[in-house]
Structure 1
Amino acid sequence: AYLKRALKAITISLDAAAQLLSEKSVTGTQHSVLQQRLFQVRDGIITLMGEYRSEWRRRFGSEGFRS
């Protein structure tokens, strides 16, 4: 549940970054760097989610898994 919340927070952050760019509060370069870093964090969260799901399946089998 924590990872799903973190993923939602990253999505909100990406939307906020786009809004900052459209309001010209950040430069295109700053937006690109911010977006790259947010995607790195997002990718890490997705990787962890996959690892935890794999471990859950290994321990409890796929019948106990809910997506």
Structure 2
Amino acid sequence: MTIAYLKRALKAITVSLDSASKLLSEKLIAGRQYSVLQQRLFQVRDGIITLMGEYRGEWRRRFGSQGFRD
């Protein structure tokens, strides 16, 4: 179930990145603000992807790859 929550978090980050891009295009935030926001969102995204890999690796270590689901 944890990986499912992490996938939902990735979806939220994708939506956030899209929204930030729209704010920039409508000139509601400055380019510098957009850059900082984008950098922070990608840092969180990278952390989530790392955690997903660790959890999947632990699953495989404990149960093998048989029956592994995302």
1:47 alignment partner, one of 43, 47, 50: 50
Higher relative contact order (CA 8 A, sep 6+): 2
CA distance in 2: counterparts of 1:54 and 1:27, whole angstroms: 41
State whether structure 2 residue 20 is matched by structure 1 residue 17: yes
User: Match of 1:63?
Assistant: 66
Identity of aligned residues (%): 82
SS in 1 for 2:60: helix
Query: Which amino acid counterpart does residue 32 of structure 1 have in structure 2?
Result: S
Q: How many residues align?
A: 67
Runs of 4+ displaced beyond 3 Å: none
Taking structure 2 as the reference length, what is the TM-score of the superposition? 0.93
Taking structure 1 as the reference length, what is the TM-score of the superposition? 0.97
Gaps of 5+ in 2: none
SS in 1 for 2:69: coil
Gaps of 5+ in 1: none
CA RMSD, aligned part only?
A: 0.6
CA distance in 1: counterparts of 2:67 and 2:39, whole angstroms: 35
